[in-house]
Amino acid sequence: LDGLDWPHAIHAMQVNWIGRSKGALLRLPVAGDETSEIEVYTTRPDTLFGATYLVLSPEHPQVASLTAQTWDESTPEPWRGGEATPAEAIAAYQRAAAAKTDADRQQSREKTGIFTGSYALNPATGVQVPIFIADYVLMGYGTGAIMAVPAEDARDWDFAKAFGLPYIRTVQPPADHDEDAPFTGTGVMINSANAEIDINGLEIDAAKAKVTEWLAGKGLATESTQYRLRDWLFSRQRYWGEPFPIVYDENGTPIALPDEMLPVQLPEVDDFAPRTYAPDDADSRPEPALSRNQEWTSVELDLGDGPKIYQRETNTMPNWAGSSWYQLRYADPHNADRLVDPANEKYWLGPRPSKPRGGADLYVGGQEHAVLHLLYARFWHKILFDLGHISSSEPFHRLVNQGYIQAYAYTDSRGVYVPAAEVEEKTESNGELTFWFNGEQVNREYGKIGKSLKNSVMPDEMYDAFGADTFRVYEMSMGPLEQDRPWDTRAVVGAQRFLQRVWRLFVDETTGESVVADGEADAESLKVLHQVIDGVREDMDNLRFNTAISKLIVLTNHATKQGGATREVLEPLTIMLAPFAPHLAEELWSRLGHKSTVTYAAFPEADPNHLVAETVTCVVQVKGKVRARLEVAPDISADELEKLALESPNAVKALGGAGVRKVIVRAPKLVNIVPDA
């Protein structure tokens, strides 16, 4: 991610999602079985002296072999899960865990688990520690097994409290630390010594290295780097994804189709829904929608050893399959022979001093794509780069997250959302504004526009009522691109009136004739024009569309007050307006006599001669209070400005005959006079 111009929040989300961590793989012997050991991954091998139990994911492959035949009489009841045997308790817990998502399992504060009936040996303390299964440990991270150190980990602490397990502090907490809480901060090691190793008093990093080296010498540890990155499922059972170009022979062996048989086209089907398990048939299997078309699924092909019947893969790819590489295809969209021509890719996406990792110059997208589409696209792009197909190692150099468009949403007394478009406003006798739906008063709140909140604004309705250009101008003028913005249909009228004023600068609304003035523009109009050009260019470069539009409004209002404008002013106005109101700009460009589209007209350049301010306002302060304002030349000298300030009537009056101890001059905008005490 280094070298990319991405928002800090998205950068952090991807780092956390990938979850790179350095630690150690520890191999802990199973008590009573010299041939068996459990491998755990930990980023804190220094806390081994505080490991009082082990936890395995319910899906861990060693669960079955570690499950005891019967409960020991000393096994506490909460450890048993209410079942007669460990096998029954483990099986019931595994079924319950399988019904939860990984997110649910990690976010739940309630810690549940089952004792396997087996113990592991803590090599640092020589103590046998119980082995549990619990759903807060995931098979997809590390080894699917952890050594639990409740005194230094919040989740382990909660589990230990729920199951009556002991804790041993191995990091010295501060004096004011709550004894009935884990300590997850840094400090020196305590309670961490045996006959072979002593790490008491060491800082955490030094203790990690020493413990890992000690265990490695005993054959019980190796250094390891792990990642939290999920192994995303790539197959889908939907109809509308890209088909996999794979068939299976009579032995079920998958075979990739040759290039000349690509692309594989989706067949016609009558029913797009997949079949799920049949509740009354234990042998039934889910069936994707494509399996409905047997003529397509079962196909005769000659793949080199004569015609044979093959079965097509009926799962499809997810939408990531297309959106992960479209930035490359845009650079060469009509190439029938390859993904992208290397010369095209290098020109559009290749590395530059300003973007060392290459990629598209600008990507605008919502932050909801942070750890899905954007991460997938980076993954695909890096593979193509590593294989030597492309010159850029990243797909998108600059990322801008546009803010959400928000609108009022309304809930009834049950908290259920009602259609915002059908809510009526009423002003009560006390002036209070209330909201009603079907005769019932409802509550108003702000929320992201969407179907679930029943506050969607349909673009088609806006086009019909105001036109597409008005809709575009209003959206772009609502506020900064990156910020959330409130939608207010009534405010769209302001954008419409602006465009109407622009139209009237070109066309007589009564006769339809041109009202564009001939001749040269006056000096004041040229000054306003070029200041607007300069400001709009800077705003467009920085994606400040709302302030660019406000500057165009300034120019339009000036021309309107002048009673019209010349071609010298109106042509640049039309070109600057085109990105926001393309339909109107195209019409006006044509009425100015141009035969080609405004799209290819050069964007106006500001004339520096018209950007120099004739005067600036200088503030004169006496005793820190503003006493006078002077209109002065922008290039006035400090000495001359000081003289004018001291001679100004209001400053003289404020001094009241007192002498001047010091004068601070910041030409041309400020003079601060400090009188004698």
* Residue-wise pLDDT tens digits, 109-162: 789 999 999 999 999 999 999 999 999 999 987 899 999 999 999 999 999 999
Provide mean pLDDT across the span 57-70: 96
pLDDT at 451: 85
**568/610 Cα distance (integer angstroms):** 14
- pLDDT tens figures, 445-493: 988 888 889 988 888 888 999 999 999 999 999 999 999 888 888 889 9
- pLDDT tens figures, 348-399: 999 999 999 999 999 999 888 888 889 989 999 999 999 999 999 999 999 9
- pLDDT tens figures, 585-596: 999 999 999 999
Provide mean pLDDT across the span 651-655: 92
Give the torsion sign (CA, 40, 81, 101, 154): negative
**390/356 Cα distance (integer angstroms):** 14
Cross-strand partners of 355 = 352
- pLDDT tens figures, 293-307: 889 999 999 999 899
Centroid of chain to Cα 286? 34
**128/474 Cα distance (integer angstroms):** 69
**72/400 Cα distance (integer angstroms):** 60
User: Residue 467 has which token pair?
Assistant: 């036109």
Provide the pLDDT confidence category of residue 644 given band limits of 50, 70 and 90: very high
Q: Is the pLDDT reported for residue 43 higher than 80?
A: yes
The distance in angstroms from the start CA to the end CA of the chain is 59
pLDDT at 224: 93
Provide mean pLDDT across the span 267-288: 75
Domains along the chain?
Answer: 21-226 (3.90.740.10), 246-312 (no CATH), 324-363+373-393 (no CATH), 405-456 (2.20.28), 469-610 (1.10.730.10), 616-675 (3.10.20.590)
Q: Is the pLDDT reported for residue 278 higher than 90?
A: no
From residue 649, how far is each of 212, 248, 622, 654 by CA, in Å? 81, 97, 12, 9
- pLDDT tens figures, 612-624: 877 889 999 998 8
In terms of Cα–Cα distance, which of 86, 77, 82, 54 is closest to 163?
A: 77
Q: Is the pLDDT reported for residue 675 higher than 70?
A: yes
Cβ distance 648 to 630 under 8 Å? yes
Provide the pLDDT confidence category of residue 81 given band limits of 50, 70 and 90: very high
Beta strands in 45-194 (DSSP E): 53-56, 114-121, 128-133, 145-148
Q: Is the pLDDT reported for residue 279 higher than 70?
A: no
Mean pLDDT (the chain, rounded): 93
Provide mean pLDDT across the span 544-559: 97
pLDDT at 380: 92
- pLDDT tens figures, 505-547: 999 999 999 999 989 999 999 999 999 999 999 999 999 999 9
CB environment 79-90: b (16+ within 10 A), e (fewer): bbbeeeebbebb
Angle at which helices 459-466 and 492-504 pack, to 10 degrees? Answer: 40
pLDDT at 277: 64
Cβ distance 592 to 574 under 8 Å? yes
Lowest mean pLDDT among 157-166, 227-236, 404-413, 433-442: 227-236
User: Residue 298 has which token pair?
Assistant: 């079962």
Query: When comparing pLDDT for 283 and 593, which is higher?
Result: 593
pLDDT at 231: 65
Secondary-structure breakdown of the chain: helix, strand, coil percentages, each rounded to the nearest 5: 35, 20, 45
Lowest mean pLDDT among 18-27, 408-417, 442-451: 442-451
- Single pTM value for the model: 0.71
Provide the pLDDT confidence category of residue 282 given band limits of 50, 70 and 90: low
Q: Is the pLDDT reported for residue 209 higher than 70?
A: yes
